[in-house]
Structure 1
């Protein structure tokens, strides 16, 4: 076909309405509330995808994405366009090999800061630096790392169906930050089980049982959590007056280090504190370009 995408494919008309589609929670303005979802979209925009990405924002907000599935190395979606048959979308990003995940897990488990935040269901911003130091950027470093396919006839990459999937993917990361790590090859339950086991091995505590996910709430819990805090300090002791056990009542659940753990601060700390610049001077894509420049200067 010799006609340009902006000419021929703009004539298909409005997309067909979808009942029960996945609708973006954001109704106006930027999409993405957490640092990890905003970083994901900033990275995409830094690949000069800004104007093409916005083509799919209205699709994402209108609920045109029928299904979105995240698996290690691949995101698949079904998006309803103007034609009767929905389009199949695929976004590939290589999953990290098992050996690399084992090194990263050992690093995370060695620092109480990371273990505590991850076990609490949060992704600290410093996590990105851990992956960068392992020569495994958490986010794609270049557009060529992403495999983008859509069954629609539009030549543009990303087309609005791919773009809508990117936006819904960012909101999926907002809802569950572990989906980002799942895409990279490690699911929530497996990662948390590994961290618990490594922490228990390091502290000499009994290794906890495997986690399971509650089907009703989606919450990951330990099958047999060990006693902690006062329960651990008093475990196995016969009943006694409180005065006789007071010196053991507030024992910490794990041995405390001699000094609090310290984290190296990356050269892009200020960028993480500031909001995205105005579109007139580059928008969110400028933040990612500055971040790469600061890291290069830091080296």
Structure 2
């Protein structure tokens, strides 16, 4: 694998790794990358402003590694949340577990950083006797942290001070606080018994009803929010099969809504044998 994809597949994790490799630590990165590749990082935990890891070195006891990054203040986060709320697509992607590609622009507009700007933004320590900073154990933890960001993009927010629950609550809370929609004007209906003859007829008002079906801003948003099916005996392939079914059925629904006649066909859903 290339260096950019060995520990990172998503754009945000790749950005984290690229920053590491631009900070001028190349002399130690090769050893750290090798440690990470061979599973020497035994444990890693992300907290607000701090990453703790245990890295197995040449000694019997693993070394304790810490990587610190200054959390954003509550005031700074409120600015970020305020900007996120102005763009519904950002909230939709985050609520479905995706990191919007241009989310850094939101942080720049709030005049706060999401990623570290330089190596000086990181406070690093290790219990090993190596005087260099970062040592290979810190570098290994840094690479594995990129893989953790791949798995859960909200860990990047947590490192800056707000975990997933805080972010989701802020976005959902805003939606819940929206003012109620204005009540439609009260319409006085005529007695039903006076219109029994045309009870099953469509009224002229139906012609004014317009329904527009468009693709969702985030594909398979509900499926992504729910995550893998929590059943022990299901094979890993089932989640991918279910995602493909959602995709095919969604496309067929769009055809049915927008192109008369196309929706009557039976969706060609690829189903794994035994499902």
* TM surpasses 0.5: yes
1:29-52 alpha-carbon deviations (Å, 9 max, x no partner): 743111111111111221112332
Structure 2 residue aligned with 1:108: 84
**Structure 1: how far apart are the matches of 2:89 and 2:51?**
30
Structure 2 residue aligned with 1:77: 53
Any gaps of 5 or more consecutive residues in structure 1? 1-24, 206-239, 253-299
**Structure 2: how far apart are the matches of 1:141 and 1:75?**
17
Q: Report SS of the residue matched to 1:48.
A: coil
- Greater radius of gyration (CA): 2
Instruction: Give the count of matched residue pairs.
Output: 194
Q: Calculate the aligned-residue CA RMSD, in Å.
A: 2.8
Question: In the alignment, which of 166, 179, 194 is matched to residue 190 of structure 1?
Answer: 166
Structure 1 residue aligned with 2:146: 170
C-alpha change, 1:147 and 1:85, in structure 2 (3 Å) is same
Any gaps of 5 or more consecutive residues in structure 2? 182-198, 214-275
Structure 1 residue aligned with 2:28: 52
Q: Report SS of the residue matched to 2:120.
A: helix
Q: What pairs up with 1:227-246 in 2 under 5 angstroms?
A: none
Q: Is the 8 Å Cα contact of residues 27 and 61 (structure 1) preserved in structure 2? A: no
Aligned-pair CA distance for 1:86: 1.0
Runs ≥4 residues deviating over 3 A: 25-30, 202-205, 240-252
Aligned-pair CA distance for 1:199: 2.6
Q: What's the TM-score, normalizing by structure 1? A: 0.59
C-alpha change, 1:29 and 1:178, in structure 2 (3 Å) is closer
Question: In the alignment, which of 15, 32, 35 is matched to residue 8 of structure 2?
Answer: 32
C-alpha change, 1:29 and 1:93, in structure 2 (3 Å) is closer
Q: Is the 8 Å Cα contact of residues 70 and 182 (structure 1) preserved in structure 2? A: yes
Structure 1 residue aligned with 2:111: 135
Q: What's the TM-score, normalizing by structure 2? A: 0.64
Structure 1 residue aligned with 2:75: 99
Aligned-pair CA distance for 1:27: 10
